[in-house]
Amino acid sequence: MRKSLVFVPALVSGLVFASVASATTWYVTPDGTATDGCFSRDYLPCDLGTAANKATAGDTVVLADGVYPKQLYVSGTGTSAAWLTFKADDCATPIIQGPGVGPTADNQDTGVGSTTATYVKFVGIVSMGWSTGFGNGWVDTDATTSNGHFEYDDCLADGNGRTGFTFFSAQGIKIKNSISAHNGSSTAHSWSSGITLYEAQGSAGDSWIEGNISFENMDAEKHTDGSGFIIDEYSNGATFINNIAFRNGGSCLRLTKSSNCKFINNTCYHDALDMQDTGPTNPSEVYFTNNDSSTTTGTSFMNNVFVATGQGPGMMAVYNQPTTGWANNSVTNSGSVAFFTDAEGTNPNFTLASGSMLAGKGGTSADVPMTDVGFDPKCIVKKTPTLVGMIASGSWWQYSIDLDYIKSIGGVAKCFNPKTRSGTPDIGAYANGAVTTVTAGACTKPPPFGTTQGPGLGAGGAGGMGAGGMSTGAGGMPSSAGGSAGAVSSGGTQATGTGGTMNTGTGGTATGTGGTTMTGAGGMPTGTGGTGGTATGTGGTNTGSGGMPATGTGGTSPVTGGTTSTGASGSGTMNGSGGSAGDDSGSKGCGCRVAGDEPHGALFAAIGALGLAGFGVRRRRSR
């Protein structure tokens, strides 16, 4: 099952990280234009590329509703103590949409993921029209040498040329309550399935696949895979709980050269529909490749239901069934079944039918889940799928993801409403009883984003005119430690800088004597009685300590006797008073991230230079 993955980091060219001491929430929209300061709903949202390249450990990037016609390539990275998270906004269904290239195109991009990041979580995101929907870096080794620790919750991969969810040569993959469908139509790059683990090494629990739906996936090039789920070569200890797979070209589950795997309370129905399958010609519902110790050692299959098609490649429900680790599974080879409510209906419903023989027939063990899948059948509809661009369809495909319905209930997460299992376990992914569903339109959407530039982003940060009036550039903080400025004479008004623009007090004449001392991070005005000068700074960036202002020009006192000190605690004496210090948008000292603060600029410039560079493509699989 040879795999190749080329992650084309279209958003990574000369971009650098920014840093802050604490975690930041970034807000992005499909038409976001801000390149910083998008840390509140009150301000303009960021472009997706900006957030994907600047966010780092502990940060959360919130994606608003809509279609994003670009990759979500993650440049930063999380840590075990501070994951980096990309999540859908409340009630939103953000779609990362690719060009949808044709089946013969040499396109190997990935919609959502990274070849370098670790400890990254994706929540509620849709990826469609790419080569691979979600993935990490391809490395053709038998060791954990790629980037790992990825989590996908409530995500959807639909209509990608190759695999929906792919994880290679690393530890730590968790996929929960996600949907993978209509992937694998490429005839140029294949060995594809709905959810693929290849050399996902580690200990028990490092690879955890729970409560997912995988249907109508295929392998249009090789006709060897196209499974709903595959545990492939050295993915030892992988655990699959409460999953559903149906109408895939290959198996519901394929297991190859991987030991100590668990498959508990899953539902497999009418898979193996690709009549061109060649490796093997009989993929069945569950196919154990190479029935030897490397495949079956430590396997645990319990409380699953396997319903074969009874014909063609799906003649048998299970191929190479192990002699141990197999308990309380229901196997049907006839092709017809009355276990479920409506498995082939308008909304395929795998809840247990009234009086189903699966109810209360499962075994008990510590591995049996406490809840069921809780999947809302209305999230899938019996309708020919409409795919992005030139993506091709399988001849047997007849169901679609109902995105309109999913949007109406508030996103992919609302398709899953698990309930607690009670009593003797049932067989399959559903516990006996009705599924709780969400009422369409009941999700309360958050307020729209603001229309003003974020704090500290003014174009120069000038202070108001008047004696001692001084503000720093973007992100600066006018000091109050040295005493206040003198009062404004009658008729004078205090100007407030807006967005870093200098405003001038009108009509006021500086009066008074014995001005007080001021200090400030941006420097001090010079002279006696002079007005505050303009703070230095480039593009609204805080000049930091020691910035030198221009000499005041509006005071009536002679420019004598006053002193100016540079540096973070610079001070000066003024002998008069005048207009109060102007306040600009940077006066709150936001402590924002500034491009170039992190030492990663050269690294990602190098990544950008690599551009379309691919990764080696080799593969071993013995059958």
255 φ/ψ angles, rounded to the nearest 5 degrees? -125, 125
Predicted confidence (pLDDT) per residue in 45-73, tens digit: 999 999 999 999 999 999 999 999 999 99
Confidence of residue 144 (pLDDT cuts 50, 70, 90): confident
Q: Rounded mean pLDDT of 526-555?
A: 37
**DSSP type of residue 415:** G
CATH topology (fold) of 25-415:
Pectate Lyase C-like (2.160.20)
Q: Rounded mean pLDDT of 121-144?
A: 92
* b/e sequence 527-563, b meaning 16+ C-beta within 10 Å: bbbbbbbbbbbeebbbbebebbbeebebbebeeeebe
Q: Rounded mean pLDDT of 129-136?
A: 97
Confidence of residue 290 (pLDDT cuts 50, 70, 90): confident
Beta bridge partners of 305: 267, 330
Token pair for 233? 């070569």
**DSSP type of residue 431:** P
Q: Rounded mean pLDDT of 342-362?
A: 96
pLDDT, residue 291, reads 66
Distances, alpha carbon 89 to alpha carbons 66, 123, 259, in Å:
11, 9, 39
Residue 561 has pLDDT above 50, yes or no: no
CA distance 154 to 571: 56
Beginning with the edge strand found earlier in the chain, give each strand of the sheet holding 326-327 in spatial order.
Answer: 25-28, 60-63, 84-88, 120-123, 150-153, 173-176, 207-210, 239-241, 262-264, 300-302, 326-327
CA distance 479 to 472: 9
Cα-Cα end-to-end distance for the chain: 10
DSSP string, 161-198: SS-SEEEES-S-EEEES-EEES----SSS----SEEEE
Residue 379 has pLDDT above 80, yes or no: yes
Confidence of residue 535 (pLDDT cuts 50, 70, 90): very low
Total Cβ atoms within 10 A of residue 513: 11
Q: What are the E-state strand segments in 444-578?
A: 518-519, 571-572
Q: What are the E-state strand segments in 11-149?
A: 25-28, 60-63, 66-68, 72-73, 84-88, 94-97, 110-113, 120-123, 126-128, 132-135
Predicted confidence (pLDDT) per residue in 167-208, tens digit: 999 999 999 999 999 999 999 987 899 999 999 988 888 999
pLDDT, residue 490, reads 37
Percent of the chain with pLDDT over 70: 69
- Domain residue ranges of the chain, discontinuous segments joined by +: 25-415
Residue 260 has pLDDT above 70, yes or no: yes
Token pair for 293? 């110790």
Residue 620 has pLDDT above 50, yes or no: no
pLDDT, residue 476, reads 37
Whole-number average pLDDT of the chain: 77
Total Cβ atoms within 10 A of residue 276: 14
